[in-house]
Structure 1
Amino acid sequence: MSLVERTVRVDGAEVPLTRLEFELLAFLLKNKDRVLKRVEILEAVWKYPQEVETRTLDKHVETLRRKLGDSGRRLKTIHGVGYRFFDAEPTAA
């Protein structure tokens, strides 16, 4: 990921992302290996006030996973909390 060029590459191929998809991925990577609450992500990426509840985050995560292919598996849902982007593919316990 290049923040300067605002590009993302997976296996050498550029992945086209919308502005919000890019901002979401950048925020997740900045906080990799940390569980992020939904409200934290909404405030940081969408500038939503805490009391707003929306499913737009879920849809963007779904699309981002699809666009990232195998790398999208590193973006995990933490049920009832939010999301976590693993620095490396998590292993099964």
Structure 2
Amino acid sequence: MNNKERKAVFFDLYDLYKEGELEGGTLQWMKEHEPEFGAEAENRKRQNGHGIKPPPDDIRQIKYMKCLTYGLYGFFIVLSIWMTVWFYF
């Protein structure tokens, strides 16, 4: 595992490490690498509030799916109302 991969793993597990949720080999691995990556992980957490932000492409995809979902909900509600009115008349 290269340095970049170790750093990514450390950042992914950092919150669990700080909350005391890790055990065994994972906990030992985090303790060994804390001097190397701990300060940077703490700075990232402070800057971003809750950790690493998703890339802009992911944000756009999430917004698109949210709009699509709301649009489909609206369509089915209108369709349900139309079918109910059509059925009773």
**TM-score (normalised: structure 2):** 0.31
Higher relative CO (Cα under 8 Å, sequence separation at least 6) belongs to 1
More helix by share: 2
Whose radius of gyration is greater, 1 or 2? 2
TM-score by length of 1: 0.30
